[in-house]
Chains A and B, each alone.
Chain A
Amino acid sequence: MGDRDQSLKYDDEELESLRQDVAANVLPRKLLETLVAMARSSKSHEMLDATLQQTLNVSTELTRAEEGSIFLLDPCGRVTNCILSPTEPPLKANSDQLDQALEGGLASWVKQTQKIGLITDTERDQRWIAPNQQQYTARSVLAIPILKGEELLGIVSLLHSRPHHFSQQTADLMQLAADQISLVLQNARLYAELDRRRALLNQELEKGQYIQRNFLPESLPELPNLEIASYFKPARMVAGDFYDVFDLPDNQVGLVIADVCDKGVGAALFMALFRSLIRIFSGQTQLEGLSFHSEFTSVLLDKLSSVPIPLEAVTFAQKSERQPNHSQINALKAIRLTNNYIALNHGDLGMFATLFFGVLDPKTSLLTYINAGHDPLFILQDNGQVKEVLNSTGPALGLLPNLKFRIRQTYLDVGDLLFGYTDGVTEARSQGGTLFTEKRLLTVLETEVTSAQAVLDRVAAEVLAHTGTASQFDDITMLAVRRKSFSVT
């Protein structure tokens, strides 16, 4: 109380100067503090209401008003947000009700004139229309328009039960504050808009993510002597990585692991394209009951396979000099067709994918493959030692038309595991920026193989431990196929 007594000793002029100071310094600072605090908080959707509340609090404090309200308007003059009391939470009334609140009376006058409305005594001013059903009787009212140029952003109304509480000086004071309030409200409105748009964008990405998940196999084929496992962890909501496992004619199984260049939505769109083209061109998809490799479709393929590669040109790993499996070779034509499709139709975008496509015969475990510019796959023995490295046999897909891709063959022995990964594994970064590396991957792999799933789980755990709290840099995808021992049944 001592302080208050002291303050009473100020003469009018000093008091006025003090208040001007408050309006010019304290008010903007308080409002700015709110804005910064709210912008930092994750609850930005509540920011607008909190800013309005704070604006009203500061205004009532400054003018010693007993009650007050604040209305925020959209560019058409309709109420978008309102706070009807410095002490109560924001009102969730419907917009028609809120619009009515500004019809007639002082608020309406302020809206029209865009000037500060000062009523020193409500009983002697025709602009005052007492609201219905209210216990509180206002005798002195101040309504301040918050303007951005000529646009009315909002109206702050301040009330007091004593006539002549608000004077021309109070009005002048609030006039000074109005510009600051305007800036704060503009910012708050921008944040609210940003938040709304971010939410919309997120919704779209979520839909994209949902659809993209549908482009990955829903379940992996279960075959008597094969165990197939996969791991997929996109860095963003939508990914450029993918894997695929699907049935092909003549009881063959198609195996794909791929990484579309670049990141985000563009890579995700091309992922869908690459995945579908490989499925269609390999004969996984039957069109109108016809395999894509039919007389009917051969005309369509002519343009895409402008440089036909005779089967004799196919090179095989020296290790296996088995007879080429024609069903497998046929499916692998999908590589050349897909490359040409992308390069001829979308060359301008410079999009490409590194892609391994293998066709496995579950009966003989003969694996015929093309590795189009992808990181090497490994065949591991059951002790985790690398038995064979399936290096790149051609360029990445989609670079230029008519590139050559060599076909190679190998064989999965009983207990062998085919392991494929994308560079999200080897280039996973720790918080300090060090990469996981291929060397580390090989060390992690070098443990007795109990199951395909166990291998992927172990690598994933190591990679995630390596990245720790660092944000995931790239999509992480792995595929493993293990030839189990022959079942006795």
Chain B
Amino acid sequence: MDITINKLQAVTVVELAGDLDANTASEVQQKVISLATPSSKILLDLHGVKYMSSAGLRMLLSLYRHVTANKGQVVLVGLAPQIYKTMSITGFLNFFTTCETLESGLAVLQQKS
């Protein structure tokens, strides 16, 4: 799992590449949760994630809880169709703003302030 973290103005862009599963989720969680500081704006770019297991969803749930507790925002970008479907079935889509492209994701985060 490759994790790249970049700051684009007020937005922290986290780019993940690889499978997000039981083997990789805890490492991602450790790195990403620490970014959820008060009023933080996080964009999770999942274009490079082809497979996400429930361990990955668990990571997303923890991230969501941390971000909302800190009055921040999180946007998911580039969900593979299968991941989108899983998130739909499990109700995760109700909690997350999702966008197709990095640009549209950034626009959402920059407009909501």
Contact = CB atoms under 8 A, between A and B. Distances in A.
Contacts of A391: 89
Interface stretch (B6-14, B54-62, B101-109): B54-62
Interface size class of A (residues with CB under 8 A): 20 to 34
Contact of B89 (A260, A263, A351, A392): A392
B65 interface: yes
B113 to A, nearest CB: 25
A392 B65 contact: no
A399 B22 contact: no
B84 interface: no
Contacts of B58: 261-262, 350-352
Contacts of A260: 54
A325 B91 CA distance: 27
A375 B85 CA distance: 10
Contact of B91 (A259, A261, A351, A399): A399
A228 to B, nearest CB: 25
Given A262-B25, A347-B65, A394 B57 contact: no
A373 B91 CA distance: 6
A376 B88 CA distance: 12
Contacts of B59: 350
From A259, A352, A392, A403, name the one whose CB has the most chain B CB atoms within 10 angstroms.
A352
Given A396-B91, A399-B95, A264 B22 contact: yes
B90 A373 contact: yes
Nearest to B61: A350
B94 interface: yes
A399 to B, nearest CB: 6
Interface in A71-111: none
A262 B65 contact: no
A354 interface: yes
Interface in B42-70: 53-55, 57-59, 61-62, 65
A483 interface: no
A154 interface: no
B65 A259 contact: no
Interface in B16-44: 22, 25
A261 B57 contact: yes
A351 to B, nearest CB: 7
A262 B54 contact: yes
A392 B91 contact: yes
Contacts of A354: 54, 89-90
Interface string A157-188: 00000000000000000000000000000000
Contact of B90 (A240, A347, A396, A400): A396
B19 to A, nearest CB: 10
B61 A352 contact: yes
Contacts of B22: 262-264
Contacts of A394: 91
Given A262-B58, A264-B22, 5 more contacts: A262-B54, A350-B59, A350-B61, A351-B58, A373-B91
What 5 A-B pairs have minimum CB-CB distances, sorted nearest first? Answer: A395-B91, A261-B54, A373-B90, A350-B62, A350-B61
9 contacts: A240-B54, A261-B54, A262-B54, A263-B22, A352-B57, A392-B89, A395-B92, A395-B94, A399-B91
